[in-house]
A and B are shown apart, each in its own frame.
Chain A
């Protein structure tokens, strides 16, 4: 990298030195001089349309726009001269001409750039007696956004966001001149996982979110700096509350993590807190029914049963991936120091790792990668903001994107698809590593292609779903080989729970303590605990913030275990499929009701503040386990104070002696792969679970903000298979595996490979885990339901 040249210039008489090529508007910011802008947004290419930023630049014959003029040595800029003031006044006057001036009922009131700049630079009311031209108001733009065309000032930030940042290009400007409107094809829905960002960047009240409309005025809001835990990216955001109720969330830029954006799942998931499904007090099973109980009663009962089971060496703890780092740390302390067992595991679904043991990449690494390999991770569905980075890298920096997996996902940017059965990816990667190391030709045209891509690239980032252990270690081998030949690269593992990486790091795994310190006696993994419970070999289970009944791959096993275990205690925010089996349910505090840290997929530990108070009988997970510890006569082991926990955690981590290279969490005994190969008769089909952003049980199931976006459970077949089976689009089919069946509507197309059926994952109404075994595989037979008109109604 060459040194950037610095240039000196004068802005309103003040000297400033900035890198050559800096925009005048940014140079002014360094002096604390605000130049008003509407169309300009630092994250997007300058377009210079709104003209509010006009400034005087010496030697230029006309006023120039500060948002796209770049500084030069010796430039003299005036941002407050009478000419500038007149131009600004003019632009504001033009913008207000047909503006409805309905500020009193506008959500943006109080944080509107039109209002603010008008106060500061505006024309006053003088000429604004002009009769207004009317445009459509309250245009329903789709599930999340309402558009008021009259308030719109056509700065195009929203359409440019959809184009440049989201790369989706569905929100556009239609018509021209002063008839221009923001719209979509034929008035269709603006559906995007990122739609909420447009409400933030809209400088006026034209785009408002349905979830927040008319709910609060900005000056009434209290703010808490928080971190989203809906997925493992860990976007920074601000939680705004009014009188103790959360009203909205707002980006809080951390350019290394979120680049200033958040996805809609993160943005809108909080209203479940106010739904009836929210647990507000502990429940205890009496005569078969879960009934309200006091915290003391719940603690006493749980301590008694867990304590007894632990004494017999027959207790287990599952959870941690949805807790804070402090609480996950407390949970493993509870298991190890109170219950005296290493039977603790945060992995409640088919995920072997929350982190690569080595070669961890940073999100930033995607920005200048020239080859991005996606192995099985469907980033738009599992880590949307990470996907935005990939989109930008591909669209703007010409990064090459390759997806290797069992079906072709829907991605926003062009990519190269390599169809590969989940079970076989490891072999492929080994072959590739071999090819790179020794120049051997791998088998198959696509593999040769891939090897060539790898050879040509200088920086490679692999995004993995952490599921397949063989693939994971092969991937590590591959990256190691690449590094050895002088390339740069790393791996990002998209965890399936928001804080999976944190839980792993603080020791919520059976063979590692905090700081990845290896333990002499490994405890049981989740699968082992469930198997033991199902076989009557476990007397008590404590599950905190996990829902294996829905998410554990072998659903039949999970359900049998939960049914069979003599005592089950669950700490949860809402009633879940798992909590339904419990003897005791603790009402747990949400992320918003506590403070602490979480660790994202790149291992970055971030603090989050408390936004609101929890309801009175709701306790944090830390408070629950520390109450249990006290009841079990070990009050000194645990404290529920996050600061206490955090300092202990740090001390323990510092003292920890991790293995070199880092040891991996203990794996489940590998289940025999019943091959992914094609059943020539098409009597059975391989099941491939497909993640969807808005799927899921628990909070997301109960959140009214997400309800309109929830997907329908679907089974997708290749069109050739569909023909053989005699099923058409939308036909209802029953998929039957050895342990259960589900009934869903069919999709017919080409995204599924021949011989496979893609099933929406994590849908409580049709849980795909009824069809899978503990290694996440399954084979099913397919029976079309009798044709009935109402079948789909």
Chain B
């Protein structure tokens, strides 16, 4: 484990009465740096909080915001639940998939984009909505998506899955 990771790990552990509570926050921190939860991160986490690597995998695989393989620099998560569907999410999804050239749970060949249809994002009043690297975008239309895409391409991407 790198000294920074270890230090961060200890800091997270200190927040809680029991070390294991720091597990997911620690994995989130590793994911922010590595782009996904690597095998090494799982082993480090196991050591940090005193459980087995198998248990870490069991826990990590439960949560959908922890990626077990490289996803993409831009993570595009479009809501697919009822309120967004009533407001045209399906058309939007079809458009975005065409635009990015990838399907649900897929990563573009260049590793830039990852696309996922996710459950309700709690922004039903501004449907359809999506998250890009956990940042909300509301009332998205094909045209507004194009603009978003341009802006993402223009700026150097921040971590795809920020930890805090």
CB neighbours (8 Å) of A183 from chain B are: 54, 57
Q: Which stretch, A170-178, A549-557, A631-639, touches the partner chain B?
A: A170-178
**Partner of B39 from A172, A173, A176, A186 at Cβ < 8 Å:** A186
Pairs across A and B, CB under 8 Å, 17 listed? A169-B51, A170-B52, A171-B54, A172-B54, A173-B58, A174-B57, A174-B58, A174-B61, A175-B62, A176-B61, A176-B62, A183-B57, A185-B52, A185-B53, A185-B56, A185-B57, A186-B39
**Is B55's CB within 8 Å of the partner chain A?**
yes
- Residue of A with least CB distance to B59: A172
CB neighbours (8 Å) of B54 from chain A are: 169-172, 183-185
- Residue of B with least CB distance to A163: B55
Of A172, A173, A175, A176, the most chain B CB neighbours within 10 A belong to A172
**Is B130's CB within 8 Å of the partner chain A?**
no
Q: Which of B39-95 contact A (CB under 8 A)?
A: 39, 42, 51-58, 61-62
Rounded to whole Å, the gap between the CB of B160 and the closest CB of chain A is: 21
CB neighbours (8 Å) of B56 from chain A are: 185
**Is A168's CB within 8 Å of the partner chain B?**
yes
CA distance in complex: A183, B68 (Å): 15
- Residue of A with least CB distance to B58: A172
Of B51, B52, B58, B62, the most chain A CB neighbours within 10 A belong to B58
- Do A175 and B42 form a contact, CB below 8 Å, given A169-B51, A169-B54, A185-B56? no
> A185 to B42, Cβ gap below 8 A?
yes
CA distance in complex: A448, B74 (Å): 59
Q: Which of B102-154 contact A (CB under 8 A)?
A: none
> A186 to B57, Cβ gap below 8 A?
yes
CB neighbours (8 Å) of B55 from chain A are: 169, 172
Rounded to whole Å, the gap between the CB of B115 and the closest CB of chain A is: 19
CB neighbours (8 Å) of B62 from chain A are: 175-176
- Inter-chain pairs besides A172-B55, A172-B57, A176-B61, 16 sampled, C-beta below 8 Å: A168-B52, A169-B51, A169-B52, A169-B54, A169-B55, A170-B52, A171-B54, A173-B58, A175-B62, A184-B57, A185-B39, A185-B42, A185-B52, A185-B54, A185-B56, A185-B57
CA distance in complex: A168, B39 (Å): 19
- Residue of B with least CB distance to A179: B61
Rounded to whole Å, the gap between the CB of A140 and the closest CB of chain B is: 16
Rounded to whole Å, the gap between the CB of A233 and the closest CB of chain B is: 26
Rounded to whole Å, the gap between the CB of B23 and the closest CB of chain A is: 14
CB neighbours (8 Å) of B58 from chain A are: 172-174
Q: Which of A182-233 contact B (CB under 8 A)?
A: 183-186
> B52 to A175, Cβ gap below 8 A?
no
CA distance in complex: A186, B58 (Å): 10
CB neighbours (8 Å) of B61 from chain A are: 174-176
Rounded to whole Å, the gap between the CB of B78 and the closest CB of chain A is: 20
CB neighbours (8 Å) of A174 from chain B are: 57-58, 61
CB neighbours (8 Å) of A169 from chain B are: 51-52, 54-55
CB neighbours (8 Å) of B53 from chain A are: 185-186
CB neighbours (8 Å) of A184 from chain B are: 54, 57
CB neighbours (8 Å) of A171 from chain B are: 54
Q: Which of A495-517 contact B (CB under 8 A)?
A: none
Rounded to whole Å, the gap between the CB of A678 and the closest CB of chain B is: 31
Rounded to whole Å, the gap between the CB of B43 and the closest CB of chain A is: 8
CA distance in complex: A173, B60 (Å): 11
Rounded to whole Å, the gap between the CB of A378 and the closest CB of chain B is: 21
CA distance in complex: A174, B55 (Å): 9
CB neighbours (8 Å) of B57 from chain A are: 172, 174, 183-186
CA distance in complex: A183, B55 (Å): 10
CB neighbours (8 Å) of A173 from chain B are: 58
CA distance in complex: A655, B62 (Å): 67
Rank and list the top 7 A-B pairs by shortest CB-CB distance, nearest first.
A172-B58, A185-B53, A185-B54, A169-B52, A170-B54, A174-B61, A172-B54
CB neighbours (8 Å) of A176 from chain B are: 61-62
Of A168, A171, A174, A183, the most chain B CB neighbours within 10 A belong to A174
CA distance in complex: A185, B58 (Å): 8
- Residue of A with least CB distance to B62: A176
CA distance in complex: A333, B58 (Å): 59
- Residue of A with least CB distance to B55: A169
CB neighbours (8 Å) of B39 from chain A are: 185-186
Rounded to whole Å, the gap between the CB of B125 and the closest CB of chain A is: 28
CA distance in complex: A168, B53 (Å): 11
Rounded to whole Å, the gap between the CB of B67 and the closest CB of chain A is: 13
- Residue of A with least CB distance to B64: A176
Rounded to whole Å, the gap between the CB of B105 and the closest CB of chain A is: 12
- Residue of A with least CB distance to B52: A169
Rounded to whole Å, the gap between the CB of B34 and the closest CB of chain A is: 16
Of A170, A183, A185, A186, the most chain B CB neighbours within 10 A belong to A185
Rounded to whole Å, the gap between the CB of B59 and the closest CB of chain A is: 9
CB neighbours (8 Å) of B52 from chain A are: 168-170, 185
CA distance in complex: A170, B39 (Å): 15
CA distance in complex: A173, B55 (Å): 8
Rounded to whole Å, the gap between the CB of B41 and the closest CB of chain A is: 12
